[in-house]
Amino acid sequence: MIYSNILSSITRRWQALPRPAHAPSGLPDKRLVLELIQTALAQHVSPQYTGLGLMLVRVMNHAKVSATYGARRADALMTFVGQRLELTLGKALGHGQNHPALVTRLGETEFAVLTDASVDAAAQRRLGALLCETLNLAYPLQEVAVHVNAAVGVAACDQAYPDAQDLFQCADIALRVAVSRGRGSLVVFERSMREALVKHQLLENDLNLALQEQQFELAFQPIMALDKLQHVGFEALARWQHPVRGCLMPRDFLDVAEDAELICRLDLHVIGLCLRAMADWQARQLWRSGWFVSVNLSAQHFNRPGLCETLLGLMHSHGISTQDLHLELTESAFMQNLRVARGEMTRLRQHGFELYMDDFGTGYSSLSHLHALPFSAIKIDKCFLDPMVHNFEQSSLISTMVQMAQLLGIKVVAEGVETLEQLSVLQNLQCEYAQGHLMGAAMGHDMASTWLQAALDPVV
């Protein structure tokens, strides 16, 4: 395999420089690598040049390792990752230390692998897949074996006169997509990804402005008790009144809010709107003891201190009891750091908040954690209800979920109930609560007020 002049030049220049103290593991950092690449490209431009390739590798669970085992072990882990990268490249590409690739350390959680033109697109993909596989193997940290969750983004300069910054940007876009897909993902850059990123960034900017200008409203979907078909609560759902695009549903902006780490601000804003509505209903005597409103809470809250105190402060300022606000959590909220999540959830329960496991059954470990965490209810996802009426196995699965929850003293809410047949099956299975279009569509504050008035004065 030919070791190209460009990569050889980059490596020689790096080896000739004194090692800076800020370069972990003896690897060059991003700024220096950019300079080396650009200088080498300027000196080796030719019409026949086919381009460099770049793979960005991110260790996704570095923060968790640091929080669990300490910063020193996390740093040692990253040193091992860098060594394994170089070892894997040496074995895969041959030529010992003179293989056609250069490993760099970009920061606390990322590495880069620069390859020359002798490693074509197909070889880059194979190499990226191999790196994902080998990096996810266990690493010995003293007496502890730690696994790495790695994702890889790949890009190549396919122009005659490539730019180092552009190469890094393309690889970074691919890496973002890979990270969004989860552990062990490999993504090769495509031009459409850049367009999607621009749209993503524009929406992020709009979302920041929307939080400042309070462009969000709530829609309330009724939750009914199935034994008497009576109102017991609402689920509060966010609606973004975008000044240009109109009403946006959560599916249109929640992923952006999560990626931009705006989701906690959004959640607390939604909770504030929810408490304001509840205070209005209580002041107008449109509220009955035992009724509630449930809201969704992102997993990111459990990575930050003070969640319980913040919520208690909001409840106090609006004069609302903690028993009237129920918090819905998806599996990701407690899977990232189970110990921390369990402690925070226990504190919330001790202060009177009811906790729901949302989308129960869709995660791989919902069953194993149901008994270990202080949930008061589970919400069965709509995907289980759709085939339930005409599928005995699916009906049996729902029955098992309900029976198991009842044994644990946990209530069950069925989501997405749309037909009388589904309602009848759920009632026969003794499911406690349900929501969906059959019970009532999501509605604005004024219509929800009318709904509550009707619930207080039922027609005999």
Both tokens of residue 27? 């690897």
**223: closest CA among 442, 383, 425?**
442
Which residues, listed in sequence order, are joined to residue 147 by a DSSP beta bridge? 138
Which residue in the list 235, 328, 344, 415 is annotated as catalytic?
Answer: 415
Which residues, listed in sequence order, are joined to residue 216 by a DSSP beta bridge? 240
Both tokens of residue 295? 């809201």
306: how many CB neighbours lie within 10 A of its CB? 10
Q: How open is the CA angle 47-48-53, to the nearest 5 degrees?
A: 110
| Amino acid sitting at position 294 | S
Residues 314 and 268 sit within 8 Å (Cβ to Cβ): yes
Give the DSSP per-residue string, 306-325. Answer: -HHHHHHHHHHHHT--GGGE
How far out from the chain centre does Cα 319 lie? 33
Residue 53 phi/psi, 5-degree rounding, is: -120, 150
Q: Which residue has the tokens 């080498």?
A: 40
Residues 331-370 as b or e (16 or more Cβ within 10 Å = b): bebbbbbeebbbebbeebbeeebbbbbbbbbebeebeebb
For the chain, give the longest Cα–Cα distance. Answer: 90
Q: How far apart are CA 415 and CA 429, in angstroms?
A: 15
- Is 35 tagged catalytic? no
Q: How far apart are CA 236 and CA 442, in angstroms?
A: 8
Both tokens of residue 428? 């026969």
CA dihedral 161, 166, 170, 173 (to 10 degrees): -170
Among all residues, which ones are annotated catalytic? 415
